[in-house]
Amino acid sequence: MKKWNIASIPGDGIGKEVVPAAEQVLHTIADIHGGFQFEFTSFPWSSEYYLEHGVMMPEDGIQTLASFDSIFLGAVGNEQLVPDHVSLWGLLIKIRREFEQVINMRPAKVLPGIASPLANPNQFDFVVVRENSEGEYSSSGGRIGNGEEEIAIQNAVFTRKGTERAMRFAFEQAKKRSGHVTSATKSNGIIHSMPFWDEVFNDVSQDYPEMTTESQHIDALAAFLVTKPETLDVVVASNLFGDILTDIGAGIMGSIGVAPAANLNVNGKYPSMFEPVHGSAPDIIGKGIANPIGQIWTAKMMLDHLGEEESATKVLEAIEQVTRQQMVTPDLGGNCTTEEVTNAIIQELKR
C-alpha cells in the first residue's frame, strides 16, 4: 500500500492542539480510501525546544525534513518564551526559504451555516496567491546607530524571477477557475517596487490572452474584500500584501481559525509545507476550544498536493456538513470544543 511520509511539526500554542486533530482526520480518510496510509513523524521543534536547546531546530533539521513527502505544521511563535523574530526566522521562515516554498496559496470561501460578519454576505470563493520568498520579507536590512539617531531599514526585494513565478502560478490557477486575475499593487504611491510589479504583471498577462485581468491598489482592494469579495477569483499579491489580505479573507470567512494555506515548492526539488493562516493563538492555549477547521482544511490541501484529490474533496465536504449543522467552536459563535468538532468531522467521513 502507498505510504505518505509526513513530517509533523505541531510547533507552539494551539498548533499542539489542532495538528493531532487534523492527523486523526487524515488517518480516517486514508482508512476509508483503503489505498494509501499516512505515517507521521513528529518533531518537537518549538519555542519550548528553543529554551532547552538554544535553537528552534537542530542543525541538520532541514536535511532531516528533506526526505519527507510533505511537512505538516501547526504554528510557530510564543512571545512569552522567545521573541518572534528569533522563533520565526529559526523555524517557519527558515523552512519556507530553504525549501524554496515560493508560493503561499490561500483560498477563502464561505462555509455553509457560518454567519459572515459582512453586512451583505454574498457567496465568495477566491484564492490568494501570495509570493512567499522575497518582497517586503527580504533579509536585507538592519539597524544602524542608536538613541535618537537610530534607524531601522527594511529593503523590499522584488526579483523579476520571483515576481514572474508568482504571477504565472496565479494565471495557471485562474485557468482552473473562472479565469480572472487581480493584481494587488500600490503603484500610485512612491514605492519603487510596485511599478515594476505592474510591468511584470502586464508582461505575464500577454501569455494568457484568454484570462481577464485587473489591477487594484492594495488599500482599495482591502476594502473590496469586504464590500464585494464575490468579484474576486485569483488574487496575486506580494509577501506582505498577501499576508494582510489573507487575514481579511479569513475574517470574512467568519474566523481566522478556519483559513487554510499551502506553502508550495514549485520546482519539485523539496517538500512543500502545509500550515493554516492562523498563529499559535496565545490567548486560548490549553482551553480545548481552538478551531481545528483551519488545520483540517489545510490537511485537505495537502491531500490535493499528494494527488489524493478524491479524499481531499471528501474532507472538505465533511467540514461543510459539520458547519452546516453549526457544530462550531466559540470563535464562530458556537460552544463546541476542538475535540467535538474533530469527532463530528470524522463521523461525517465515516457515514
The count of residues interacting with ligand IPM (CB under 6 A) is: 6
Q: What residues between 229 and 248 interact with Mn ion by CB under 5 A?
A: 243
Q: Which residue is nearest to ligand IPM (CB)?
A: 243
Interface residue with ligand IPM, options 66, 88, 220, 266 (CB under 6 A) = 88
b/e code 156-174 from CB counts within 10 Å (16+ = b): bbbeeebbebbbbbbbebb
Binder of residue 284, out of ligand NAD, Mn ion, ligand IPM, none (CB less than 5 to 8 A by kind): ligand NAD
Q: Name the residue nearer to Mn ion (CB basis): 23 or 243.
A: 243
Binder of residue 30, out of Mn ion, ligand IPM, ligand NAD, none (CB less than 5 to 8 A by kind): none
b/e code 220-253 from CB counts within 10 Å (16+ = b): ebeeebeeebeebbbbbbbbbbbbbbbebbbbbb
**59 counts as binding ligand NAD under rule CB under 6 A:** no
What lies within 8 Å, CB to CB, of 191 at 6+ separation is 156
**57 counts as binding ligand NAD under rule CB under 6 A:** no
**184 counts as binding ligand NAD under rule CB under 6 A:** no
Q: Name the residue nearer to ligand IPM (CB basis): 208 or 274.
A: 274
**331 counts as binding ligand IPM under rule CB under 6 A:** no
Q: Which amino acid is at 2?
A: K
Q: Name the residue nearer to Mn ion (CB basis): 213 or 295.
A: 295
**148 counts as binding ligand NAD under rule CB under 6 A:** no
**136 counts as binding ligand IPM under rule CB under 6 A:** no
Residue carrying C-alpha cell 485581468: 213
Q: CA-CA distance, 288 to 14, in Å (whole number)? A: 9
Interface residue with ligand NAD, options 136, 275, 340, 348 (CB under 6 A) = 275
Report helix angle 193-206 to 160-175, nearest 10. Answer: 40
Q: Name the residue nearer to ligand IPM (CB basis): 308 or 331.
A: 331
Q: What residues between 277 and 296 interact with ligand IPM by CB under 6 A?
A: 277, 279
Three-state DSSP class for 80?
coil
Interface residue with ligand NAD, options 113, 121, 251, 282 (CB under 6 A) = 282
- Residue 268's region, left for phi above 0, alpha for psi from -120 to 50, else beta, is left
**244 counts as binding ligand IPM under rule CB under 6 A:** no
**323 counts as binding ligand NAD under rule CB under 6 A:** no
To ligand IPM, the closest distance from the beta carbon of 240 in angstroms equals 8
Q: CA-CA distance, 214 to 75, in Å (whole number)? A: 33
Q: Which helix (H) or strand (E) holds 3?
A: strand 2-11
Nearest to 24 by CA among 315, 331, 351, 336: 315
Q: What residues between 12 and 41 interact with ligand NAD by CB under 6 A?
A: 14, 18
User: CA dist 216 to 131, 194, 198, 229, 236, Å?
Assistant: 17, 12, 10, 13, 11
Residue carrying C-alpha cell 474566523: 255
Binding site for ligand IPM (CB under 6 A): 77, 88, 92, 243, 277, 279
Residues engaged in binding ligand NAD (CB under 6 A): 14, 18, 75-77, 79, 84, 92, 256-257, 275, 278-284, 290-291, 294, 329, 331
